Amino acid sequence: MAQRKGIILSGMRPTGKLHLGHLVGALDNWIKLQDTYDCYFLVADYHVLTTGFEKSAEIPGNIHEMVLDWLAVGLDPERAKFLIQSRVIQHCELNLILGMITPMPWVERNPTIKDMIADMGLGGKIHYGLMGYPILQAADILLYRADLVPVGEDQVAHIEMTREIARRFNHLYSSVFPEPRAKLTRVSRLPGTDGRKMSKSLGNSIHISDDDENVRQKVRRMVTDPQKVRRGDPGRPEVCSVYAYHQIFNKEETGEIAENCRTGALGCVDCKAKLAGALGKVLDPIRERRGEFEKNPDQVRQILSDGSAAASKRAGETMRLVREAMGMVY
């Protein structure tokens, strides 16, 4: 095997089946990276509790669905480690220690928390776990002494905070942690069927595991250029969500589609039909692989068990270095 370039940590909250935003925003990137880096792919189940603690009983089923999607798109447990956050106890240990040395203003200035509070209408009902989740996220990354973290642009602030926490620990004690760098994903934002950011909670997502009929129905509901009311009207592909999808999933035809949209030769109904067909070609092999893994749930559980055990070894070594650096060795 060729020499690996470094260590990558990236993860997702298990909230159920994944959608196309996950595919182009993270998973495509992970698939490429697993051949050249030592990759740890985290099932971030503790992070679900920051906003969904009352639905904790749903987490095991959601983990299974999410990991099925990981396997279906081509992530390989022979080349990367799949681990469950709550099965590697050192995540909690390092989170506690980092929380002790992180100034409160660093947490309060986190822009993502402010947006989340506004989006979810939380007002003053903010739990300690939600406020402190950036520290847990930093612990997730630093526990494996990761060099790179694949993220979208909206997560860059979290990586910078992780770097600050690493610098602070290294300054206070000794150099245990590398300062991880963000590796931006190819597609930072895929619009949902309503034009907003694709999200399961908004009901505007196309799932990786959707069958052809579901895909067609969802594509038919997608918003298009409001000025193009009927076939023959000149359109503006640059403001159309459907065209944004063609640029990602149907690159060969984008030039022709854009020209025919602008002249009015291509109507929105036909344009959406083209997109549904293109998505079907992309998703067919993924759905087939998913079906094979669905037949063997014990295999999926074993993959997670093995990956969590392997991750625990790396995490244990990190915590030994942390305790030695702090002088907490008895």
Q: Over 80: is that where the pLDDT of 200 sits? A: no
Spatial neighbors of 281 by CB under 8 A, at least 6 apart, are none
Contact between 215 and 280 under an 8 Å Cβ cutoff? The reply is yes
Question: 109-117 long-range CB contacts below 8 Å, 24 or more apart?
Answer: 110/134, 110/157, 110/158, 110/161, 111/157, 112/154, 112/155, 112/157, 112/158, 116/51
CATH code given to domain 7-190+297-326 = 3.40.50.620
Q: Which CATH number fits domain 210-290: 2.40.30.10, 1.10.240.10, 3.40.140.10, 1.10.260.40?
A: 1.10.240.10
Q: Over 70: is that where the pLDDT of 40 sits? A: yes
The reported pLDDT for the residue numbered 4 is 65
The reported pLDDT for the residue numbered 51 is 84
Contact between 156 and 182 under an 8 Å Cβ cutoff? The reply is yes
Per-residue pLDDT tens for 130-189? 889 999 999 999 999 999 999 887 788 899 999 999 999 999 999 999 999 998 876 667
Contact between 162 and 138 under an 8 Å Cβ cutoff? The reply is yes
- Model pTM score: 0.92
Q: Over 60: is that where the pLDDT of 321 sits? A: yes
The reported pLDDT for the residue numbered 1 is 44
Per-residue pLDDT tens for 255-297? 999 999 999 999 999 999 999 999 999 999 999 999 999 999 9
Spatial neighbors of 313 by CB under 8 A, at least 6 apart, are none
The reported pLDDT for the residue numbered 123 is 62
Per-residue pLDDT tens for 208-245? 999 999 999 999 999 999 999 888 999 999 999 999 99
Token pair recorded at residue 155: 């997560």
DSSP single-letter state for residue 198 = P
The reported pLDDT for the residue numbered 119 is 63
The domain segmentation of the chain, as residue ranges, is 7-190+297-326, 210-290
